[in-house]
Amino acid sequence: MKNVAIIAAAACALALGACNKNNADNNAANETAVENTASTDVNVATNDAAANADAALNAAGNAVENAGNAVDNAANAVENK
């Protein structure tokens, strides 16, 4: 009966040991999650900024092209008078 009690006590001790919080592990996991989220946020912001810059450059390019066309049209109109 003593052996059963010793084994039961050892099993309980192991079970309780496994249930103990390991704050260092939890903190490391939380820090990793925060870093991953921050990295994702930065990537999204970078992608958005790049897309916005591309759109602005395209719009500027289109405006320059339209202005050039307007100048050509005005020159043609003067020639045709």
Residue 3 lies in a domain: no
> Residue 78: what residue type?
V
- Domain range for 48: 24-80
Within-domain flag for 14: no
- Whether 37 is in a domain gets the answer yes
Is residue 19 domain-resident?
A: no
Mean pLDDT to the nearest integer, 39-66: 85
Residue 70 pLDDT level (bands cut at 50, 70, 90): very high
Residue pLDDT, tens place only, 8-45 = 665 555 555 555 566 766 666 677 777 777 777 777 77
DSSP alpha helix (H) spans, the chain: 2-19, 23-80
Q: What is the mean pLDDT of residues 31-60?
A: 80
**Is 12 among the domain residues?**
no
- For the chain, the domain total comes to 1
User: Distance (Å, rounded) from C-alpha 71 to C-alpha 60?
Assistant: 17
Domain presence at residue 4: no
Residue 63 reports pLDDT greater than 90: yes
Q: Which pLDDT score, from 0 to 100, does residue 56 have? A: 93
**Would residue 70 count as lying in a domain?**
yes
16 half-sphere exposure, CB direction, 13 A CA radius: 6
